[in-house]
Structure 1
């Protein structure tokens, strides 16, 4: 996909999936996605569709796209100022007349209790932690430490 057409391609993929999720017999015709009469079962329980989260940098353009076409945002690993970004996304969401709040999934580095509490208070709905590429015993030790860190987080 040409770099200047990535959003168009993603929009088409989402529209095609929406058709498969909601129509008994779906078809779609776009520049990057095209299929004739097709059937897909089972249909999602969540309606009108499962939540769509977009992983992207915290730019105004990306937030506008999320507000228009998705249900939430996945941060990038290099993202800083998550609290400020979530506030900007919430404002864009409200300004566009969307109800509720977007889901925000933050990719976290080392678990820091104060940062996690700030993110929670700002509206981060989920946090993902990476696991060390290490022998099983080291990974299990890491998971135990992570569980201890998160266990009594208010």
Structure 2
């Protein structure tokens, strides 16, 4: 099982390059960066309790652009994988987004992981023209367009929400491989979609099942019901706790990657200290 970290970079916290280089030196395998473009002040959508709500943390309002941050990190690290955790794909043009991912993966020698998600803030999505009731099929179809552009010399896809006429687009991802895609989130609907079309489910551990000992067997049953070999659908854990006992239980159940939560900070020094604190769990793992 690989161990990475996730961090909300803002204009008040640590420098992303310094943070990433430190994470790499501690032995973390990957760094994931979330995405929110803006927050309408109406606040009609409550911050989910599963993520720590209902109060909305200020760091959500100040996040750096996801792809710009990951590009700078990739340019100044050697082996650290860089992931979107997650890209709110419904809010983006899939042709342009496919180009961004493929370029970053090509220039970083294959270090990109593409995590996508449906999002939770309705008014944020609607500001981008997203039909909230169709967000699931929107993300699915847009990702299928991206995957076609990554893998096919003459790429095409026909979907309900997004389609692509036969097209040429290069570069392809590094060494011609497709970028591994995660579908992030929690709950039965996201689980079902991940089982049907994602490379892996990037699951946020439910409060009632922090070790995923009930959730993972359920997911594998859903994968099988979807007509897939359960071994073909991976499991990664989003915002995992820096707890060695919990992480060992993830490993025993075949989790491919646990991405540890590092508390965002209002000062660079505090953010770096938080990373150092979380890194101590690495020495506790076999």
TM-score if structure 1 supplies the norm length?
0.78
Classify the secondary structure of the residue corresponding to 1:16.
Answer: helix
Correspondence list, 1:5-44, <5 A: 5-44=134-173
Q: CA deviation at 1:15?
A: 1.9
Classify the secondary structure of the residue corresponding to 1:43.
Answer: coil
Give 5+ residue unaligned stretches, structure 2.
1-129
Correspondence list, 1:45-56, <5 A: 45=174, 49-56=178-185
Cα RMSD between the aligned structures? Answer: 2.7
Q: CA deviation at 1:73?
A: 0.9
1:136 to 244, 252, 268: 268
User: Match of 2:239?
Assistant: 108
Residues 90, 101 of structure 1: 8 Å contact kept: no
TM-score if structure 2 supplies the norm length?
0.46
Q: CA deviation at 1:37?
A: 4.6
Q: Residues 42 and 80 of structure 1: is their aligned pair in 2 closer, same or farther, counting only changes over 3 Å?
A: farther
1:126 to 223, 247, 257: 257
Q: How many residues align?
A: 153
Larger RCO: 1 or 2 (CA < 8 Å, sep 6+): 2
Q: CA deviation at 1:70?
A: 0.9
Q: CA deviation at 1:23?
A: 2.1
Tell me how far apart the structure 2 counterparts of residues 15 and 54 of structure 1 sit (CA, whole Å).
13
Mean CA deviation greater in 29-38 or 18-27: 29-38
